[in-house]
Amino acid sequence: MNKTLPIVIDTISEVLKGAGQPVPAINSSSRILEDTGLDSLGLAEVVVKLEERLQKDPFKDEFIHFTTVEELARLYG
């Protein structure tokens, strides 16, 4: 299991709670924008929080496409 996966899931949940949105069941195959309830602004907040927590910026050189929670976790792993 990717060690960053729980951190990504927790961060998504935190951002949703902070926005007053319901937090659905989130797993590695959840599609971030389609299944979690995050919009693009919420996703940007998740990325910033992950960069702070994990001290890594996988997008510093270029944008890397991702769709699922697992794909995002792998970028920070």
Residue 68, beta-bridge partner list: 31
Query: Would you state the pLDDT for residue 2?
Result: 80
55-74 mean pLDDT: 94
The CATH number of 5-76 is which of 1.10.1200.10, 2.160.10.10, 3.40.50.1970, 3.40.640.10?
1.10.1200.10
39-57 mean pLDDT: 96
Q: Name the residue among 15, 24, 8, 3 with its Cα closest to residue 72.
A: 8
* Tokens standing for residue 3: 């060690």
Residue with tokens 């991702």: 66
pLDDT tens digit sequence for 13-40: 999 999 999 999 999 999 999 999 999 9
**pLDDT tops 90 at residue 63:** no
Q: Specify whether the CB–CB gap between 72 and 10 falls below 8 A.
A: no
Residue with tokens 């997008």: 59
